[in-house]
């Protein structure tokens, strides 16, 4: 029996062997970063070194990085950290950002890009300070937003900008300073670090409400003894991911060939193809075959893929991202996300195309 082909890197990237070894070593060491003795100082050095590593990958200053329990917590810190500001959120955001009561929604166009004219209209009607949140890279389609252009626009109205860069980290080169955002969310397990670790990057001078009070850790912004092993693992993964950024040029070629091969089999849709996308991500429709059936069938045939975000309690439903882009529920419910990573080969993609062809010929609209 062949080993499963893993094509769900956007859900989680398998943890790196070096990270496991490093974290195990640190867990054996122990030490509280707030203690002043040698064990505590060593733990503190581990945390601060990781802060520098994560900052380097994200193009931020180390003092701007606040470690969290993951990307969802980072997003929630933003949503709840500015109680006096009105929330304005793009229609394609992750579920951890879509639950804000009373938030205004920025529509997307057919390519998955934020409608800037609609955003201008919303900003022009504001009656109080606001916070805009637009993700840098969509987790389902891979579509990249022009965050620097959005930042320039919202700042004209005195509005803060947050960007969820969780899927973009380690896949494309970007710089927090150049993006112009005021806040940015990151996650460890998308780059081969441990699950349950993330960070919120807060631009110097931005004041955010402290939600988790404790002993003043993380510059007084997130109380509680730091997860030293998790933080250090995140840091090492960030350092290794930075060294591997050029690898995504290879994945882009594999992804593009896979899409072309599938498009040659039947008329289909590659969602967001008209926009710049992450080089590893493809969201594609199999006409006539529900997403849930696709995911289960591919799994039985040795392929790990998904139908959009992996944060919906395991349920497969029509993608809110695709419906926000103007697709109907039927089209959206026939989508599949394929996301590649450092272990993906051309052979993996070719095998997947053959499995796609077999399923479509048995169950698809052209059968």
DSSP 220: G
CATH number at residue 208: 3.40.640.10
Structural domain range at position 265: 5-13+246-363
Please indicate, yes or no, whether residues 209 and 60 belong to a single structural domain of this protein: yes
Which of 47-61, 247-261, 317-331 is least confident?
A: 317-331
Query: Do 214 and 311 reside in the same domain of the chain?
Result: no
Residues catalogued as catalytic: 311
pLDDT digits (tens, 9 = 90+) for 83-103: 999 999 999 988 877 667 788
Residue partners of 337: CB distance under 8 A and separation at least 6: 8, 10, 140, 281, 282, 283, 305, 306, 307, 308
Q: Which helix (H) or strand (E) holds 307?
A: none
Query: For residues 295 and 316, what is the distance between their CA atoms, to the nearest angstrom?
Result: 9
222 and 271 housed in the same domain: no
- Quote the tokens at residue 220: 């007084």
Examine the domain organization and report whether 235 and 266 are in the same domain.
no
Q: Decide which of 203, 226, 243 is a domain's last residue.
A: 243
> Quick one: pLDDT at residue 313?
43
**Measured in Å, how far apart are the chain's first and last C-alpha atoms?**
29
Whether the CA torsion 200, 201, 203, 205 is positive or negative: it is: positive
* Boundary-marking domain end, from 193, 218, 243: 243
Grade residue 1 by pLDDT with cuts at 50, 70 and 90: low
Q: Which of 243, 261, 283 is the last residue of a domain?
A: 243
CATH of the domain at 250: 3.90.1150.10
Q: Is 162 in the same domain as 118?
A: yes
Instruction: Tell me: do 237 and 251 sit in the same domain.
Output: no
Tell me, what's the pLDDT at 214? 85
Q: Is the pLDDT of residue 234 over 50?
A: yes
Per residue in 24-50, pLDDT (tens digit) is 999 999 899 999 999 999 999 999 999
Q: Which whole number is the average pLDDT over 213-219? A: 86
Q: In what order do the strands lie in the sheet with 104-106?
A: 65-68, 198-202, 183-187, 160-164, 130-133, 86-90, 104-106
Residue 344: is its pLDDT beyond 70? yes
Do 155 and 263 have their domain in common?
no
Looking at the structure of the chain, the number of domains it has is 2
Spatial separation of the C-alpha atoms in residues 10 and 23, rounded to whole Å: 23
The CA distance from 199 to 58, in Å, is 11
Same domain as 290, residue 266: yes
**Whether residue 31 sits in one domain with residue 149:** yes
| Residue 262 sits in the same domain as residue 354 | yes
Mean local confidence (pLDDT), 345-360: 97
Angle between helix 228-243 and helix 17-29 axes, rounded to 10 deg: 150
């Amino acid at each position: 029996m062949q080993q499963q082909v893993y094509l769900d890197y956007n859900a989680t990237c398998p943890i790196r062997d070096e990270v496991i070894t490093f974290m195990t070593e640190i867990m054996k060491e122990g030490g509280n970063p707030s203690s002043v003795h040698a064990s505590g100082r060593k733990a503190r050095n581990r945390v601060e070194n990781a802060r520098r590593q994560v900052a380097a990958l994200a193009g931020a200053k180390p003092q701007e990085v606040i470690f969290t329990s993951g990307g969802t917590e980072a997003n929630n810190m933003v949503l709840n950290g500015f109680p006096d500001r009105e929330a304005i959120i793009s229609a394609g955001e992750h579920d951890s950002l879509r639950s804000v009561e009373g938030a205004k929604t920025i529509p997307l166009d057919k390519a998955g890009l934020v409608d800037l004219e609609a955003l201008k209209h919303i900003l022009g009607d504001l009656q109080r300070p606001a916070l805009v949140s637009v993700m840098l890279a969509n987790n389902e389609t891979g579509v990249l937003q022009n965050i620097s252009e959005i930042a320039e626009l919202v700042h004209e109205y005195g509005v803060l900008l947050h960007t969820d860069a969780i899927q973009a980290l380690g896949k494309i080169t970007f710089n927090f300073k150049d993006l112009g955002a005021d806040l940015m969310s990151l996650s460890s397990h998308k780059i081969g670090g441990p699950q349950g670790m993330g960070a919120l990057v807060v631009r110097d001078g931005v004041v955010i409400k402290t939600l988790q009070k404790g002993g003043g850790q993380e510059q007084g912004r997130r109380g509680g003894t730091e997860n030293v092993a998790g933080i250090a693992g995140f840091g090492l993964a960030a350092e290794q991911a930075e060294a591997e950024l050029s690898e995504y040029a290879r994945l882009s070629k594999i992804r593009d060939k896979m899409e072309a091969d599938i498009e040659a089999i039947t008329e289909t849709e590659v969602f967001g193809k008209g926009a710049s996308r992450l080089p590893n991500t493809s969201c594609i429709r199999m006409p006539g075959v529900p997403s849930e059936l696709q995911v289960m069938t591919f799994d039985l045939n040795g392929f790990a893929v998904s139908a959009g975000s992996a944060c919906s309690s395991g349920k497969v439903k029509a993608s809110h991202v695709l419906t926000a882009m103007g697709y109907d529920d039927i089209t959206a419910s026939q989508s599949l996300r394929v996301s590649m990573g450092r272990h993906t080969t051309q052979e993996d993609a070719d095998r997947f195309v053959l499995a796609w062809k077999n399923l479509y010929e048995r169950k698809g609209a052209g059968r």
